[in-house]
């Protein structure tokens, strides 16, 4: 059956059920964004032309909202708890629905069981039953619940699962045996899924799929209106919890010298707000009112927490400049409580790395807050600069629909594994050394692995310098790391073509392989396909990195990927 774009979301709102504060928040958002989704669907339909889109039956099981996992979020929705996750789930539901797929939504174990066809009371059904869904979107909580309640079907069908995982899961943490042996121990990893089955909030590492969310888009008239209506001395502080103000007195007093400081910190009427007296605190605002506040403000300022939420993108989309602190040394699961136990070694160099690296000046300023002069100078310059509202394409409704469409039509983790690791027995070599002898590219006459996605012709492979991760090595060349190309490169032939002098070649389990170790002139191939990883570096190795091009404003997709 062909999927047909939908522009009326009232049935989706019914499907979302009711009761919980979290669902109410999500439904309000979906309702408010209906017109934007409808317009985006029209535009994407035009762009895709008559491309065939199969209708999928999809189950969305939002594990963290189930009572069984404690549902710690719903009671906090009205108190400044994390709303980012709810923003993202609301947008995922809208995208799947607008794309025209069959949708079921569950937020309790009971509903999950009845949708999976597990007989009540039979917690662990030993038989494999047919699964009435092509795809299941869930989170780590939901994954655990499915493992417990699907019996043998879980193994059989886990390739259909997609895990919404805000901060991402790196391959070294995902591979159970490897993680256990090498100290990549966390509360969350060990699922042995294809790392691309994890879907993140921002494009952290291309080892995972970038799911994202949307921010409201302004039309030209609104943009002009906003630009005219800005109060150049108005700053809004990022963060809804009182804790973020602690220990920031010095920067705050500098900021207050120049600007009126607004906050949206939750407080209870019985207790005075725990923010400095000069702050105009609005309390936690409903989302539309928060947007209105951003429209008037010149500056949106972060004091280090929360990490990587939606709000800075909304601020920039509403014409604010986002000022944030540089982290030196970077924060990570090794040195920061917040990231501890998360299945990633990613180092975070500022509060919002996406804003810093993908947007940057004039919209985003990342400065050292300990350096008062630098901080003060930034504020003064920002007050004088005019910026246009800006929203990266990948965070528009159209951009999200385009990306989710591409994933649904092309990602298949149930098919027999792609090209087997070639090991030392590489048959015919599919690539050649580029004319400038710096990297490998796909040979024009080589056959293109049929059905492979992204298409292999976008492969560009580089030998990274020692200590450089493939994520960074590819970005250095204006490209992005593409883990699905690793199997093509995992061969002696690739090293040979790159004229790497291998004295010996070994095949082992190591998330940094394929790689070259300079001291012994040793080449190493990857023995375990699940461990292919863009993330990760060691000064011992020069990693062999598969890169690809990407669409401007849509880093998840290569030029030929639609
Ligand atoms: N938000 C809101 N009211 C406010 C402040 C923020 O509704 O007073 C919304 C905001 O629009 C954003 C969401 O909260 O979409 C999440 O924001 P944040 O970046 O703080 O991420 P979180 O830490 O909540 O995940």
* ipTM of the complex in this document: 0.97
CA dihedral 319, 321, 322, 323 (to 10 degrees): -170
Which residue among 80, 84, 202, 215 has the greatest number of ligand 1 atoms within 8 angstroms of its CB, and so is best to mutate?
A: 84
> What is each CA distance from 426 to 7, 58, 362, 489, in whole angstroms?
50, 39, 49, 10
Cα 120 versus chain centre, distance:
35
Question: Ligand 1 centre and the CA of 310: distance in Å?
Answer: 7
Angle separating helix axes 84-98 and 397-410, nearest 10 degrees: 70
pLDDT by residue for the chain (562 residues), tens only, comes to 999 999 999 999 999 998 889 999 999 999 999 999 999 999 999 999 999 999 999 999 999 999 988 888 888 888 877 899 999 999 999 999 999 999 999 999 999 999 988 766 555 555 567 899 999 999 999 999 999 988 888 999 999 999 999 999 999 999 999 999 998 978 787 899 999 999 999 999 999 999 999 999 999 999 999 999 999 999 999 998 888 889 999 999 999 999 999 999 988 888 776 789 999 999 999 999 999 999 999 999 999 999 999 999 999 999 999 999 999 999 999 899 999 999 999 999 999 999 999 999 999 999 999 999 999 999 999 999 999 999 999 999 999 999 999 999 999 999 865 554 444 344 567 889 999 999 999 888 777 666 789 998 899 999 999 999 999 999 999 999 999 999 999 999 999 999 999 999 999 999 999 999 998 999 999 999 999 999 999 999 999 999 999 999 999 999 999 8
Ligand 1, atom 12, lies closest to the CA of 311
Peptide bond into 514 cis (omega under 30): yes
> Is 309 touching ligand 1 by the criterion CB < 6 Å?
yes
Closest atom of ligand 1 relative to the 83 alpha carbon: 24
Q: Do 528 and 181 meet the contact criterion of CB atoms below 8 Å apart? A: no
Q: Do 174 and 195 meet the contact criterion of CB atoms below 8 Å apart? A: yes
Sign of CA dihedral 170, 176, 178, 181: positive
> Is 94 touching ligand 1 by the criterion CB < 6 Å?
no
> Is 287 touching ligand 1 by the criterion CB < 6 Å?
yes
Burial 439-449 (b: 16+ CB within 10 A, else e): bbebeeeeeee
Closest atom of ligand 1 relative to the 311 alpha carbon: 19
Angle separating helix axes 34-48 and 21-32, nearest 10 degrees: 60
Question: Could you tell me which residues come within 8 angstroms of residue 68 by beta carbon, excluding any fewer than 6 positions away?
Answer: 108, 109, 145
Closest atom of ligand 1 relative to the 287 alpha carbon: 7
> Is 314 touching ligand 1 by the criterion CB < 6 Å?
yes
> What is each CA distance from 83 to 36, 93, 241, 256, 518, in whole angstroms?
21, 16, 12, 28, 48
Question: Could you tell me which residues come within 8 angstroms of residue 2 by beta carbon, excluding any fewer than 6 positions away?
Answer: 52, 53, 54, 55
> Is 283 touching ligand 1 by the criterion CB < 6 Å?
no
Angle separating helix axes 21-32 and 287-296, nearest 10 degrees: 50
Closest atom of ligand 1 relative to the 283 alpha carbon: 8
CA dihedral 70, 76, 78, 82 (to 10 degrees): -110
Predicted TM-score of the model (pTM): 0.96
Burial 283-306 (b: 16+ CB within 10 A, else e): ebeeeeebbebbbbbbbbbbbbbb
Residue found by looking up tokens 């970038």 in the block: 210
Question: Ligand 1 centre and the CA of 68: distance in Å?
Answer: 25
Beta strands in 195-277 (DSSP E): 198-200, 209-210, 234-237, 260-263
φ/ψ bin of 314: left (φ > 0), alpha (ψ from -120 to 50), beta (otherwise): alpha
Alpha-carbon distance 304 to 341, whole Å? 20
Which residue among 265, 280, 311 has the greatest number of ligand 1 atoms within 8 angstroms of its CB, and so is best to mutate?
A: 311
Question: Ligand 1 centre and the CA of 181: distance in Å?
Answer: 39
Ligand 1, atom 10, lies closest to the CA of 311
Question: Ligand 1 centre and the CA of 467: distance in Å?
Answer: 37
């Amino acid at each position: 059956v062909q999927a047909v774009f939908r522009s009326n979301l009232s049935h989706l709102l019914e499907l979302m059920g009711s009761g919980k504060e979290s669902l109410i928040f999500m439904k309000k958002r979906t309702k408010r964004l209906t017109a934007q989704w409808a317009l985006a669907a029209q535009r994407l339909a035009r762009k895709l032309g008559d491309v065939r889109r199969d209708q999928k039956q999809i189950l969305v099981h939002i594990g963290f909202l189930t009572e069984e996992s404690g549902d710690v979020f719903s009671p906090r929705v009205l108190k400044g708890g994390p709303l980012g996750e709810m923003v993202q789930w609301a947008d995922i539901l809208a995208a799947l629905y607008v794309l025209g797929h069959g949708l079921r939504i569950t937020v309790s174990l009971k509903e999950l069981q009845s949708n999976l066809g597990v007989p009540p009371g039979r917690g662990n059904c030993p038989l494999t039953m047919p699964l009435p869904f092509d795809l299941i979107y869930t989170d780590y909580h939901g994954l655990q619940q499915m493992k417990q309640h699907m019996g043998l079907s879980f193994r059989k069908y886990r390739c259909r699962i997609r895990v919404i995982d805000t901060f991402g899961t790196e391959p070294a943490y995902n591979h159970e045996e490897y993680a256990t042996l090498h100290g990549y121990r966390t509360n969350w990893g060990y699922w042995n899924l294809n790392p691309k089955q994890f879907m993140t909030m921002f494009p952290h590492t291309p080892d995972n799929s970038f799911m994202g969310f949307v921010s409201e888009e302004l039309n030209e008239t609104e943009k002009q209106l906003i630009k005219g209506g800005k109060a150049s001395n108005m700053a809004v502080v990022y963060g809804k919890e009182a804790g973020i103000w602690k220990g920031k007195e010095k920067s705050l007093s500098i900021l207050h010298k120049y600007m009126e400081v607004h906050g949206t910190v939750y407080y209870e009427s019985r207790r005075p707000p725990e923010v400095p007296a000069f702050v105009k605190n609005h309390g936690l605002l409903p989302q539309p009112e928060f947007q209105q506040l951003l429209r008037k403000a010149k500056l949106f300022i972060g004091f280090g927490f929360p990490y990587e939420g939606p709000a800075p993108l909304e601020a920039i989309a509403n014409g604010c400049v986002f000022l944030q602190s540089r982290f030196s040394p970077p924060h990570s699961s090794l040195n920061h409580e917040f990231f501890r136990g998360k299945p990633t070694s990613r180092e975070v160099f500022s509060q919002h790395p996406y804003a810093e690296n993908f947007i940057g000046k004039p919209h985003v300023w990342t400065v050292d807050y300990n350096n008062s002069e630098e901080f003060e100078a930034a504020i003064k310059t920002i007050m004088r600069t005019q910026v246009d509202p800006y929203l990266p394409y990948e965070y528009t409704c159209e951009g999200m629909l385009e990306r989710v469409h591409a994933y649904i039509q092309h990602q298949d983790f149930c098919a027999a594994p792609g090209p087997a690791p070639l090991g030392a027995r590489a048959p015919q070599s599919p690539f050649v050394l580029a004319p400038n002898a710096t990297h490998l590219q796909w040979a024009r006459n080589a056959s293109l692995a049929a059905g492979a996605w992204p298409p292999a012709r976008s492969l560009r492979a580089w030998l990274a310098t020692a200590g450089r991760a493939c994520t960074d090595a590819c970005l250095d060349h204006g490209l992005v790391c593409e883990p699905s190309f690793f199997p093509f490169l995992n061969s002696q032939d690739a090293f040979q073509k790159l004229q790497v002098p291998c004295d010996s070649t070994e095949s082992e389990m190591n998330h940094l392989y394929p790689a070259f170790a300079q001291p012994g002139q040793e080449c190493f191939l990857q023995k375990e396909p699940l461990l292919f990883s863009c993330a990760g570096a060691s000064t011992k190795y020069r990693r062999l990195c598969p890169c690809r091009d990407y669409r401007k404003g849509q880093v998840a997709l290569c030029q030929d990927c639609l």
